[in-house]
Every structure is written in structure tokens, then in C-alpha cells.
Amino acid sequence: MLPVPSLGSLNWLPVKGQTLLWAGGSLLFGQWVCADVLHLPGGGLGVLVVGAGVWWLSRPAAAARFQAPTTLPGWVQRCRDVLDQFDRLEEPLEESGAREERQRQLDALLERSGPLAMAVVASAGVAFPERQQLEQALAGPSPLQLSLAHPLTTNTGSWTLPDALEHQDALLFLLPLPLRAADFLRLEQIADDQPAWLLVERNVGAEADLCAQLPERWHDRLLIWDGTPTALRPLLQPLRRLLQQPQRSLDATRQRLLARLHQRWQAELEQRRRERFRNLLQRSQWLVAGAVVVSPLPSGDLVAVAVGNGLMLREMAQVWDCPWTSEVLQVAARHLGAAALAQGVVEWSGQALLGFAKLDGGSWLAAGALQALSAAYLTRVVGASMADWMALNAGVAEPDLALLKQQAPLLVAQAAERERLDWNGFLQQAREWTSAQTSNLRIKSS
């Protein structure tokens, strides 16, 4: 009699087929355990969807980046666009004086002409060279308006540079050795794109440490003077080279001043945007909460969160004048996906707990209210984080690239932290909204 083979010895499927069979069987078993034993909505498929959502949201997000113009006409058009944004956001009854003042500031920069202006600034305790010596050392084919500023004091509280220095086409900063704290702070206030040089008298004991103390941008703009008048003209050759192209220097100064004006206007404009956004956020969060309450299915809740937040983001794009580029769509999709995923987790865990407890209908109503409040809170966080992203994208501030890369991934976390700190205000709004919903139900029942 032939031996009867065991089931384990039957190799009736190839290795790949066995792997697929085990994977399918494990998926079906997990689906049965999650859906019928643990009573989790969606079962194992829900777990897979949540895991896929977490993986997608964990990818790096697009950093907020202001697309600054690179030409003078580009900055002029950008400033005019900001003036139009002021007109759209300001109330019709507001005085027109602010609009006229902004237009005057823009016209003053556009009408700025030669000759080139250069300021010589000295820290307290540093002697100026003779004015005649400076004029001879800087003399060239183009006219020059040379200004000698008053010595800058080292008293605490007055370490800022005068605003008038920002409008100079070039700066020559006379510093003592060794440098003082006030000198370092003032050097940080000089814009990177403003032509400036440092002039120090030769000091053998302190020269070696000077380059190590100064930022790298000043290493090739450091002029060591031995104090003799004859050495001043060859030493100031880099400044004379700049003055040989007056129109180019004037255009560069206008472009730099337009960028500073745009930054100040954006900071002022952001206050009006936040006022509009505050009303938009309060309206959107409770519309989303109301939609979640009346939705009969969990999937309808997720759709309500996604649609409500999407409509809010569309209005926010109009407030911040943010075009729907591929980068903006990517960030918006990530925020909407995060909100929908978080709302799904809330509903998933809430329904699972209620299924375990076998609670009555009143508890289900309480769970629905909790889900509605979570939807409102998620809308609040999404709106706050996207407002920060759009503000940076519009040019409210111009941090350097390294700092911007550090800030971009933390926008959502910072927004959540702010909302956590404002938890009392959110709960107060939630109580008012809940009271209004209860009153409406009583009226309908009566």
C-alpha cells in the first residue's frame, strides 16, 4: 500500500502563490478580527487606510517661500499690487489719507535720482579723517554727495542705526579696535544688499582677532588704514569702483528700498488680513461642526471636514492674494488630508468605545457632539497653520533660507500649540454653539 501524503508535503502552489495566499489570508483574518471582534469601523481596511495616510503626511512638506522679484520693474509692479490689496481689504469708510501716504512713499522712491549718496559713519571715540581727504580719496568721474554722520553713541538703548542711512547708496563705517558690543549690533543692522565697507586703523595686537570676530560678509570689505592721508585713496579703490557706474548703483538702491517698503507694507497688510481671517475662521469652524452633527454616516463627516476646510482655504487664498499654484495645492492637500485623517481617528476611536460599552442613544448624541467639536477644532488648527504659510509666501517677512526651512515643518505644530494655549476661548465658543444647537432642537421638538 502506498503511503498517504500529508497536507504539508503537498507543494501544489509555487512560492509566490503561497506568499500571496498567506498575505490574503492574513488580511481577511485581520479584517474579521478588527470588524467583528473589536468592532472597529472599517476593520482592517480602515487600519490600512490610516497607515497609508500617516505615511503620506509624514513626507516633507513644501516650504513657504516668497518669490521675490529680481528686477526693478518687478518690484515696482509688486508694490503696486500691494496697494491694490490694501484697497480690497480696507473698509470703504476708512480715510483715504493712508492710501495717499503709501502712494507718496512709492512715488518718492521711483523719482529718486542722482547724484550718488555716500555716508561716512563713525562709532564713538573714532576720529574722522578730514573731509577734504575723503573727498580727494573718493573723487571720480561721477558726482558724489558725501555726508559725515554724527558719531554713534555707545549708551545702552541707542544702539540702532539712523533710518537715513538706509537711503544711502554706500556706507563707510569707521570702527575702533577692539570692537564693542554696540559695534557688533549695528553691523547686524546693515542690510546684506547695501554696499558697505569697514575702515579700522592699523593695530597689530587686535588685527589678528578682528576677522575671527566679524561675520564672513565683512572679510573682503575690511579696510586697514595706517592713518596717513596718502594711503587713503588707494585704500578706498573698491568704493571708487562702485561709483564708476552711477545709474547701476541708483537702480540697485531703488530696488533695495522698494523691497524694504514692500516688507513694511506686508506687515501692515497682515493685520487687516488677520481681521478678515478671524471672522472667516469662526464662521467656517462652526459650519463644519454643524455639518458633522447632521451627517448620518462617518464617511459624510470626513467629506464635511474636507469640503468645509477646502472652502475656507479658497477664501483665505483670496484674502492673501495667493494664486493656486502646484505648490499651494500640495500644501493645501496635506492640510486637508491631515484634518480628515485626524477626524477619522476621532470617529473611529469614539465609535469603537461606544460599541464596547453598548451605551444608549443619549451617549451616541454625546459622541456626535464630541466629533463635531473635534471637527471645529481641526478646522481652527488647519486655518491657523495655512494662514502662517500664506503670510510667509506673500512676503510678510524675509527670513533666510535656513531659518525658513526650520520654520516650515513647524507651522502646524506651532498653530496647534497656539490653539491649545487659547483653549479657554475655544471652549467658550463651543459652549455658545452647543447652547444654540440645543435651543434649536427644543424649538423643533415643541
* Alpha helices in 139-174, H assignment, sequence order: none
* Statement to judge: residues 286 and 429 lie in one domain: yes
Predicted pLDDT of residue 405: 38
- 331 pLDDT tier (thresholds 50, 70, 90): low
For the segment 51-69, the average pLDDT, to the nearest whole number, is: 57
More confident residue, 74 or 68: 74
Percent of the chain predicted with pLDDT > 70: 61
Best-predicted range by mean pLDDT among 212-221, 266-275, 303-312, 393-402?
A: 212-221
Does residue 171 register a pLDDT over 50? Answer: yes
Does residue 392 register a pLDDT over 60? Answer: yes
**Nearest to 83, CA basis, from 307, 305, 265, 315:** 265
* Statement to judge: residues 299 and 223 lie in one domain: no
Predicted pLDDT of residue 386: 78
The values of phi and psi at residue 119, to 5°, are: -115, 140
Residue pLDDT, tens place only, 116-155: 999 999 888 888 888 899 999 998 888 899 988 888 887 7
Q: Looking at residue 176, which CATH number applies to its domain?
A: 3.40.50.300
Last residue in a domain, options 223, 244, 265? 244
Does residue 316 register a pLDDT over 50? Answer: yes
- Identify whether 79 is part of a domain: no
Best-predicted range by mean pLDDT among 32-46, 152-166, 390-404?
A: 152-166
For the segment 386-409, the average pLDDT, to the nearest whole number, is: 59
Predicted pLDDT of residue 1: 44
Predicted pLDDT of residue 404: 35
C-alpha 101/C-alpha 268 separation (Å) is 13
* Statement to judge: residues 286 and 435 lie in one domain: yes
Predicted pLDDT of residue 26: 52
- 195 pLDDT tier (thresholds 50, 70, 90): very high
* Statement to judge: residues 410 and 334 lie in one domain: yes
Residues 6+ apart with CB under 8 A from 422: none
- In the chain, the number of structural domains is 2
Percent of the chain predicted with pLDDT > 90: 17
Q: Are 58 and 364 in contact (CB under 8 A)?
A: no
Predicted pLDDT of residue 163: 86
Domain range holding 327?
A: 41-67+274-445
**Average pLDDT of the residues of the chain:** 73
295-301: which pairs have CB atoms within 8 A and are 24 or more residues apart?
298/41, 298/344, 298/347, 298/348, 298/351, 301/343, 301/347, 301/371, 301/375
Last residue in a domain, options 244, 265, 290? 244
- 408 pLDDT tier (thresholds 50, 70, 90): very low
Among the ranges given (203-212, 242-251, 275-284, 378-387), the one the predictor scored with the smallest mean pLDDT: 203-212
Does residue 373 register a pLDDT over 70? Answer: yes
* Alpha helices in 91-203, H assignment, sequence order: 97-110, 131-138, 181-189
Q: Are 238 and 197 in contact (CB under 8 A)?
A: yes
For the segment 318-327, the average pLDDT, to the nearest whole number, is: 76
Predicted pLDDT of residue 395: 80
- Identify whether 344 is part of a domain: yes
Q: Are 97 and 374 in contact (CB under 8 A)?
A: no
Does residue 168 register a pLDDT over 50? Answer: yes
More confident residue, 390 or 103: 103
Q: Are 61 and 336 in contact (CB under 8 A)?
A: no
The values of phi and psi at residue 144, to 5°, are: -140, 135
- Identify whether 75 is part of a domain: no
Predicted pLDDT of residue 444: 57
Predicted pLDDT of residue 298: 61
- Identify whether 26 is part of a domain: no
* Statement to judge: residues 236 and 382 lie in one domain: no
For the segment 341-370, the average pLDDT, to the nearest whole number, is: 53
Last residue in a domain, options 244, 262, 295? 244
Residue pLDDT, tens place only, 236-287: 999 999 888 899 999 999 999 999 999 889 888 887 888 888 888 888 888 8
118 three-state secondary structure: strand
* Statement to judge: residues 312 and 397 lie in one domain: yes
Does residue 51 register a pLDDT over 60? Answer: no
C-alpha 393/C-alpha 407 separation (Å) is 12
Does residue 377 register a pLDDT over 50? Answer: yes
Longest dimension (CA), the chain: 123
Whole-model pTM: value is: 0.69
Predicted pLDDT of residue 198: 92
Predicted pLDDT of residue 78: 92
More confident residue, 346 or 213: 213
* Statement to judge: residues 392 and 285 lie in one domain: yes
* Statement to judge: residues 362 and 439 lie in one domain: yes
Predicted pLDDT of residue 8: 44
Residue pLDDT, tens place only, 264-273: 898 888 878 8
- Identify whether 165 is part of a domain: yes
* Statement to judge: residues 232 and 285 lie in one domain: no
> What cell numbers appear for 67 in the block?
518669490
C-alpha 210/C-alpha 222 separation (Å) is 9
**Nearest to 390, CA basis, from 333, 338, 319, 309:** 319
